[in-house]
């Protein structure tokens, strides 16, 4: 089955002497209607779905931890939690270790600046 996106209704196509109409479906429908043929492809699609769910969940937890650290004006316990989450992501291979290191570095830089600012205002 050929899938083209046609904006002005279905058209007639000719490929290798065969005539047919173009079925208009969106990209999302194409993804959902994907049906692997080989057994290995079925297994791979299943594994991909599981991995995507796992990665999305852990990435969301990390983003939440980073956001909570920022909103709490870089409270030490929130910063430690965010660093732990970033380390877990890097360890599991969800993000590259250099990406995790960069994010931790930026977080600690801001946390240390906030700590100095609070000491200055307290004095």
* pTM for the model: 0.65
Containing H/E element for 15?
strand 12-15
* Residue 34 confidence (pLDDT): 67
pLDDT single digits (tens) 20-36: 444 554 555 545 556 77
Beta strand 12-15 pairing with 18-21: antiparallel
CATH architecture classification, 53-122: Up-down Bundle (1.20)
Answer whether residue 5 shows pLDDT above 50: no
Greater confidence (19 vs 58) lies with 58
Domains of the chain, residue spans: 53-122
> What is the DSSP secondary-structure string of 76-114?
HHHHHHHHHHHHHHHHHTSS-HHHHHHHHHHHHHHHHHH
Containing H/E element for 12?
strand 12-15
pLDDT single digits (tens) 63-96: 999 999 999 999 999 999 999 999 999 999 999 9
Contact 79, 111 (CB under 8 A): yes
* Residue 10 confidence (pLDDT): 46
Average pLDDT rounded to a whole number, residues 26-52: 77
The CA distance from 84 to 62, in Å, is 9
Using DSSP's 3-state secondary structure scheme, residue 48 falls into: helix
């Amino acid at each position: 089955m050929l899938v083209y996106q046609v904006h002005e209704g279905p058209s007639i196509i000719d490929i290798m002497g065969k005539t047919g109409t173009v079925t208009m479906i969106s990209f999302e429908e194409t993804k959902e209607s994907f049906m692997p043929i080989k057994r290995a492809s079925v297994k791979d699609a299943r594994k991909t779905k599981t991995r995507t769910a796992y990665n999305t969940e852990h990435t969301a937890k990390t983003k939440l931890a980073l956001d909570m650290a920022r909103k709490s004006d870089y409270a030490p316990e929130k910063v430690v939690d965010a660093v732990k989450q970033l380390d877990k992501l890097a360890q599991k291979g969800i993000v590259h270790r250099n990406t995790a290191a960069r994010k931790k570095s930026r977080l600690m830089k801001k946390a240390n600046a906030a700590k100095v600012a609070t000491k200055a205002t307290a004095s």
